[in-house]
Amino acid sequence: MNQDMSIVSLILHASWVVQAVVLLLLGVSIASWSAIFRKIVSLRRVAALNDAFDREFWSGTSLNELFSAAAQNAHASGPMERIFASGMREYQKLRERRVVDPGALLDGARRAMRASYQRELDAIESNLSFLATVGSVSPYVGLFGTVWGIMHAFTGLAALEQVTLSAVAPGIAEALVATAIGLFAAIPAVIAFNRFAHDIDRIANKLETFIEEFSNILQRNLGAQSASGH
């Protein structure tokens, strides 16, 4: 007795619970791949914008010119440029309020940059938790479908007087499809999560390094102004 053992046929002949699990996992897999492609594009754009501003920052352009350009280009700027703009904005506000203490000026600028850094990092890390959830939960959802399908298959075999492998195999195969699709959804999500986490760590380290370097530049400028004032 020949039976169609293709995946589509197995799903169509499975119990409604297994079919519901398979549909759920397929929907999750599509959403996961969509999140993966969006994150790839987003991280590449962030890296390109950061690199472009980093080159501009060290090209010799004055801080005031950089700040003016950042203010005009606020909607299309990258995380590093927005962090720089937040630090310069706070620094200039404190100067306008007649704050002359170099420590207070530097501390205010650093606090503004750290706050901006945290906002940027939160935005960059968006959808990572979704990928982590898909990677950790999908196999268990698939396993639930498999267990339910096997229970359903053996319940149907209980009324038979003679059970053969040909009678058992289709029901078990139908159930195992759920686990296979669960792994199909989970594996790309786990790989993408690990890769994105590594890329985001590199971006975060670069932003933190920029904050320290810019703080050092402000400190040198304040020191030079204090010396010239005396």
State the total domains in the chain.
1
In 3D space, the residue among 15, 43, 41, 230 whose CA is nearest the CA of residue 144 turns out to be: 15
The amino acid present at 190, given as its one-letter code, is V
Residue 129 domain boundaries: 7-229
Residue 220 lies in a domain: yes
Residue 178 lies in a domain: yes
Residue 207 lies in a domain: yes
Please tell me what DSSP assigns to residue 162: S
Q: One digit per residue, pLDDT tens: the chain, 230 residues?
A: 445 556 666 666 667 777 888 899 999 999 999 999 999 999 999 999 999 999 999 998 889 899 999 888 878 889 999 999 999 999 999 988 887 788 888 999 999 999 999 999 999 998 899 999 999 999 999 998 888 878 877 776 666 666 565 656 666 777 788 888 999 999 999 999 999 999 999 999 999 999 999 999 998 888 776 666 54
Residue 1 lies in a domain: no
Residue 2 lies in a domain: no
Residue 39: its pLDDT value, please? 96
pLDDT in tens, 2-46: 455 566 666 666 677 778 888 999 999 999 999 999 999 999 999
| Torsion sign, CA atoms 164, 166, 170, 176 | positive
Q: How far apart are CA 91 and CA 225, in angstroms?
A: 14
In 3D space, the residue among 134, 191, 184, 137 whose CA is nearest the CA of residue 11 turns out to be: 184
Residue 191 lies in a domain: yes
